[in-house]
Amino acid sequence: MIKPHGSDALNPLYVADSDRRNTLMVEAETLPSLILSSAAAANAVMLGGGYFNPLTGYMNLADAMSVSEKMHTVDGLFFPVPIINLTTESNVEAGTRVALRDPNVEGNPVLAVMQVEAVEDVSEEQMHFMAEKIFRTLDPEHPGVANFLSMGHTLLSGPIQVLSYSYFQTDFPDTFRTAVEIRKEIAEHGWEKVVAFQTRNPMHRAHEELCRMAMDQLDADGVLIHMLLGKLKPGDIPADVRDASIRKMVEVYFPPNTVMVTGYGFDMLYAGPREAVLHAVFRQNCGCTHLIVGRDHAGVGDYYGGFDAQTIFDEDVPTGALELEVFKADHTAYSTKLDRVIMMKDAPEGHTMEDFVLLSGTKVREMLGRGEAPPPEFSRPEVAKILSDYYQSLDS
């Protein structure tokens, strides 16, 4: 199986030994507490599950600045975005142990214990420098920029021991999986070549066929459909609705034992190209050999070019930095001339835009809200029914 990023073996930071974990839970109740931002809590969950291998905790300011500018730490470890703990608190001291508490669960239970190695003030200039490098914009309307610049100017760095996976295990018991668990399941399937499909949305016909295209062209053993389960921007479809619609699509339209439907506990960054590379890092840690990167991968609005998330792998990711390879996908749609879904760049001569079934997200939402099913060339009827029920429930 493909090696994890940056090491020969995966190093998840979740304390799996129950006795050790209980001991740390008891200790945590005696420690100073810090309620994390949602982003820092999501980083802890991802560190716990091995997704951010080989990191041992939150980055310090020097590493965060270096990663933002050059996509590697001061010591040269390739990483596409800083994994940090920014806070508005100023009473934490370096050299102490701190109980990190979950902002997303009632009562703020302990999520992790941190050995604080450094407490650093981050200037406005440094915050803007990092944001501009990560998101390619400082527009406050960009949801990722707005969130990043609101988290505070105190940066806490140091190793952590993760004691919980927040709400993800309880809310999504059939879907949430750690990188450790996904690696184990891939091995149990006997898969060697595995394609990952990232999604924060329900999957329509084009997405479904894109997975098939990648499997066929790469002669892959299976597909990992890996959905984000954390926080999104307002208006995005909730994780439980996405989960139900994707599972129904796989159940009805894919052969048994060819697809793993899983999810991970992270908040969407909307960082476009940089986030696409982050997706590649943690899919390699999952054991996947390929990642599908399509049009406007991890984008939002008009902040990124349609294929910037592909070109970053050619232009900015050093040769050998990742073992995982990228499957580059063009815009994919149903051709009424060919009676099947194709990549639009592969359309035979004579095709025009009128020969494709293309619907905007707004148009689809309006149809579903009225109880109208999008055309079957665009969305499977079983999927459309689940989405329609959700949108109509918003108006009831």
What residues are annotated to the active site? 200-201
131/243 Cα distance (integer angstroms):
31
CB atoms within 10 A of CB 295: 17
CA angle 55, 79, 310 (to 5 degrees): 140
Nearest C-alpha neighbor of 184 from the set 53, 287, 291: 287
In the 3-class helix/strand/coil scheme, how is the chain assigned residue by residue?
A: CCCCCCCCCCCCCECCCHHHHHHHHHHHCCCCEEECCHHHHHHHHHHHCCCCCCCCEECCHHHHHHHHHHCECCCCCECCCCCCEEECCCCCCCCCEEEEECCCCCCCCEEEEEECCEEEECCHHHHHHHHHHHHCCCCCCCHHHHHHCCCCCEEEEEEEEECCCCCHHHHCCCCECCHHHHHHHHHHHCCCCEEEEEECCCCCHHHHHHHHHHHHHHCCCEEEEEEECCCCCCCCCCHHHHHHHHHHHHHHHCCCCCEEEEEECCCCCCCCHHHHHHHHHHHHHHCCCEEEECCCCCCCCCCCCCCHHHHHHHHCCCCCCCCCEEEECCCEEEECCCCEEEEHHHCCCCCCHHHEECCCHHHHHHHHHCCCCCCCCCCCHHHHHHHHHHHHHHHC
Residues facing 78 on adjacent strands = 72
CA angle 339, 342, 346 (to 5 degrees): 120
The β-bridge relationship of strands 154-162 and 110-115 is antiparallel
89/306 Cα distance (integer angstroms):
39
